[in-house]
Amino acid sequence: MAATRKRMLVMGRTGSAVPGIKELTGELVDVVSANDVPLPDSSADYMVVDSSEPGLMSDMQVCGMGLFSALPDGVVLLDESQNILWHNSTFRNLLKTDALLVGQMLQDVIKPADGTDLRRVMVPSNPGEAASLNVRREDRSSLGLRLARTTISLGGNQHNAMILTVRDVSKQMLEKQKQDAIYRAGLEMGNLAPDEVTAMTHEERVSLLKEQILQLTQEVLGYDTFEIRLLNTESQELMPLLEFGMDPEAASRRLFAAETGNGVTGFVAFSNRSYLCADTKNDRLYLCGAADARSSLTVPLTIRDSVLGTFNVESPGTLSFNQKDLDFLTLFGRVVASSLNQLQLLAAEKVTAATENSDRLRREVAEPSDEILHASTWILDRYIGHDPDVCERLHLIADRIRKISSSVGTVAPASDGGGMMGSSAPIRPPRKALQGKRVLVVDQDATAREEAHDLLGQMGCEVEAVQNATAACAMLRNHHYDVVLTDIRLSDANGYECFRRLREINGLVPIIMMTAFGYDASHSIVKARQEGLKAVLYKPFRRAQMLDEVEKAVTTPPPG
């Protein structure tokens, strides 16, 4: 048949119609009786059916009328050896070919890219059973195949055959590949062995995570212009963590989590909602990120509904992104957020361990330091006015002991080199008003003195403790203190006597008295109040109560 001639199949028992139609069509159409074609195929361009014999039309003849070719899926009839007996036009369209495929083997037509032998993997055993398989072809398209056994009637005889349905699953496979890649990224990102975690600094872990995010964003999602910012929960500022392809001015722009005035990024962090900007030129929220950006995607990085930051992607084309892109970026954003959270937990764990160590060291050093200070002050008290050189050396000893005590247990916040990852702050941030304040604690109970060292030391105070009123007076005579805390029950004086003696030495230093369960047999508190006592702590008191009273004492101006 000439390539330019159309083909017409004539259905029905009578063959007399064929010559008449040939006469009418001349050489323009190749007229063929369906009776002469064992298995009509979709290569026919026209169909003539003898309407007087509708009951005689076979299923294959109905197929030949083009009904199967209107289906969105490819339909193929195969013999037992998977040779193609018939197919609809959709099948040929899926394979992007105009060639007649009847007579060819399915394996040769599909051409799986990995060489999969379809005759081995797609063999349904019994009629009614089906086998399914997704096949990636050499042209990178993917086809979903479903093969079922059946029997067909031809010329009054039953024949075993197989029906294959075929559909294009390229998009679904691509989405599945992205999902698998994101899953693998979640396993890989920040996944370090215990010895690696121990060996690496916080800065090194952050740097490694940045490299992984950059690589996976480009390889998995295919984005080359993006920006990640982290939220500072105190200031609500979105701090730059990582950017690629963004305008330098935009990358360094200060943004805050706010409903307006801070671009799409600020809105997403404020609302905890993803945002698809289809046209940057006509979006009231959008602030220029990449110089040529015409559309963008922005998702919040969240852990248990808490916003850690934002992930923004930009593209030079309008309508470049759709809901699928947003879903994938949201999914990838969860992986990134999980990794960021893991780093923050590692940093917090490191600070917690350091804080616990500092508390332990402070407790171990506190008592011997107090004893040395007390002993040197006791000697100093006796040499003042007699031997200036000895006094100078004793002052030097006291200063050195204080420096050692204040430096022991100091926790330096970890830095990531750029203010990222929230800069691991101490778990118990010191009160600014108490930092550097020197506190004298007078209590004969060793546990009470230790607890005062712990609590006030954690807040940044320089704490020195003695057991009785005599030692307290010697310390106050020779050293400066911002506040004195004294128990009302001491071995050498009651609370009022200690209060009065301390006031004689320094009438301006604030004094706080402490008593257990309100016990005050000597009425020390009443007497001291009459002489200007301002604050009393009743044991057991809450930590905050003690800190509040000490802070009030050191920040209240002395009476004029």
**pLDDT: which is higher, 13 or 404:** 404
- Tell me the residue length of the chain: 560
Q: What is the mean pLDDT of residues 132-158?
A: 79
Structure tokens at 160: 């075993």
Residue 550: predicted pLDDT: 92
Across 20-34, 82-96, 464-478, 520-534, which has the greatest mean pLDDT?
464-478
Structure tokens at 495: 């609370």
Q: Where are the domains of the chain?
A: 1-66, 69-168, 175-347, 358-555
CATH value of 175-347 in 3.30.40.10, 3.10.100.10, 3.50.50.60, 3.30.450.40 = 3.30.450.40
**pLDDT: which is higher, 441 or 126:** 441
* Three-class HEC string of 481-539: CCEEEEECECCCCEHHHHHHHHHHHCCCCCEEEEEECCCCCCCHHHHHHHCCCCEEEEE
| CA-wise closest residue to 223 among 294, 293, 314 | 314
Least confident of 211-225, 460-474, 491-505: 211-225
pLDDT digits (tens, 9 = 90+) for 492-541: 998 899 999 999 999 999 999 988 766 677 788 888 888 888 889 888 77
DSSP 152-185: EEETTEEEEEEEEEEEE-HHHHHHHHHHHHHHHH
**pLDDT: which is higher, 141 or 509:** 509
pLDDT digits (tens, 9 = 90+) for 54-108: 444 455 555 555 566 667 888 888 888 888 888 888 888 888 888 878 888 998 9
Question: Do 69-168 and 175-347 show the same overall fold?
Answer: yes
Query: How far is residue 207's CA from residue 244's CA, in Å, rounded to a whole number?
Result: 15
pLDDT digits (tens, 9 = 90+) for 269-279: 999 999 999 99
Residue 267: predicted pLDDT: 96
168: confidence class by pLDDT, cuts 50, 70, 90? confident
Domain 69-168 listed as CATH 3.30.43.10: no
483: confidence class by pLDDT, cuts 50, 70, 90? very high
Q: What is the mean pLDDT of residues 462-481?
A: 92
Q: What is the mean pLDDT of residues 334-352?
A: 66
Structure tokens at 74: 């490819």
Q: Does residue 47 have a pLDDT over 60?
A: yes
208: confidence class by pLDDT, cuts 50, 70, 90? low
Is this model's pTM higher than 0.85 or not? no
Residue 74: predicted pLDDT: 87
A 10 A CB-CB count for 172 gives 13
**pLDDT: which is higher, 466 or 408:** 466
CATH value of 358-555 in 3.90.1150.10, 3.40.50.2300, 3.40.50.1820, 3.40.50.300 = 3.40.50.2300
298: confidence class by pLDDT, cuts 50, 70, 90? very high
460: confidence class by pLDDT, cuts 50, 70, 90? confident
Q: What is the mean pLDDT of residues 284-308?
A: 88
> What CA–CA distances, in Å, run from 275 to 175, 252, 259, 291?
21, 21, 13, 20
| Residue 261 falls in which region: left (phi positive, over 0), alpha (psi -120 to 50) or beta | left
Q: Does residue 260 have a pLDDT over 60?
A: yes
Least confident of 31-45, 326-340, 509-523: 31-45
pLDDT digits (tens, 9 = 90+) for 368-381: 777 877 788 888 77
Across 149-163, 248-262, 392-406, which has the greatest mean pLDDT?
248-262
Residue 258: predicted pLDDT: 94
